[in-house]
Structure 1
Amino acid sequence: MIKKKKREDNYLCYIPWKQHQEWESRNGKVFLFFEHDKLIEKFARWLVKKPYVSDVELDEIGSRVWSYIDGKCTVFEIGQKLQKLFGTEFDPKYQRLISYLNYLNKKGWIFFRRGSQLQGD
């Protein structure tokens, strides 16, 4: 029996793309908008007098990362752009970038597409 070689994916070659489309950029900051239209959210809005739409303001680095997510740039390329822009302020760049992208992915705001791997896949 021949063992299959386990495919190793390089996370830096993945391509993030935006799933959440309700957002805008103001004064260099990105704001993500969320409508609270599910039944339980409507009840909670009524109960605590919350607005129908809420927003999340991303910080400077988070806003820049969001703007670089275009469905074409890999995680590696985004890290390179951030390094050029922020220098050592963004060190350790890939560790922070990957943690942030994983957070956005867990929230369902972005997803990943497997890009070309370094092995020539």
Structure 2
Amino acid sequence: MAKEKKDDNFLLYIPRKKHTTYEKRNGKVYLIFYHNKPIEKFLRWLVKKPAVSDMELDNLGSTVWELIDGQNTVYDIGQRLLEKFGKDAEPVYDRLIMYLRYLNRRGWIAFDRGNQE
């Protein structure tokens, strides 16, 4: 008789950063982007855009980014958000999972499966 494989619990996944260029200013995280690929250079020249741009994360997003350290699980991050923001973070796991999936789709983070037992 074969063992049934249980579904993975996403709350036990461990996010880790792939985008490494960022800085913290005035308590907020700014992701820094360098536009140095050939097509980006051409488009930058065409529309007069800067070679470097940044994206400011809000308070919740900055806190999540700082908590992504390759050790905290999605569940741990959600608990820390509840401690820090209380009801302002509700519904915490729905919002957190949606945000983490967005970061993953953009290629800025990846997930390790974590201990699924």
TM-score normalised over the length of structure 2: 0.96
2:6 match: 7
- Consecutive unaligned residues of structure 2, counting only runs of 5 or more, are none
User: Helix, strand or coil for the counterpart of 2:98?
Assistant: helix
TM-score normalised over the length of structure 1: 0.93
User: Helix, strand or coil for the counterpart of 2:5?
Assistant: coil
Letter in 2 for 1:38: K
Q: What is the CA–CA distance in structure 2 between the aligned matches of 1:41 and 1:18, rounded to whole Å?
A: 23
1:80 match: 79
Q: What is the CA–CA distance in structure 2 between the aligned matches of 1:83 and 1:21, rounded to whole Å?
A: 26
Give, in angstroms, the shift of residue 4 of structure 1.
5.0
Give, in angstroms, the shift of residue 76 of structure 1.
0.1
Over residues 46-70 of structure 1, what are the superposed CA-to-partner deviations in whole Å (9 max), with x where a residue is unaligned? 0011000110000010000000000
**% of aligned pairs identical?**
59
Q: What is the CA–CA distance in structure 2 between the aligned matches of 1:103 and 1:62, rounded to whole Å?
A: 11
Tell me how many residue pairs correspond in the alignment: 117
Give, in angstroms, the shift of residue 40 of structure 1.
1.0
Q: Does 1:100 align with 2:99?
A: yes
Q: What is the CA–CA distance in structure 1 between the aligned matches of 2:2 and 2:9, rounded to whole Å?
A: 21
Structure 1 stretches of 4+ moved >3 Å: none
1:89 match: 88
Q: What is the CA–CA distance in structure 1 between the aligned matches of 2:53 and 2:9, rounded to whole Å?
A: 36
Q: What is the CA–CA distance in structure 2 between the aligned matches of 1:77 and 1:6, rounded to whole Å?
A: 24
- Consecutive unaligned residues of structure 1, counting only runs of 5 or more, are none
Over residues 79-110 of structure 1, what are the superposed CA-to-partner deviations in whole Å (9 max), with x where a residue is unaligned? 00000000010100000000000000000000
Over residues 24-44 of structure 1, what are the superposed CA-to-partner deviations in whole Å (9 max), with x where a residue is unaligned? 001110000111111111011
Q: What is the CA–CA distance in structure 2 between the aligned matches of 1:113 and 1:103, rounded to whole Å?
A: 16
Q: Does 1:51 align with 2:53?
A: no
Give, in angstroms, the shift of residue 3 of structure 1.
5.1
RMSD of aligned alpha carbons: 1.0
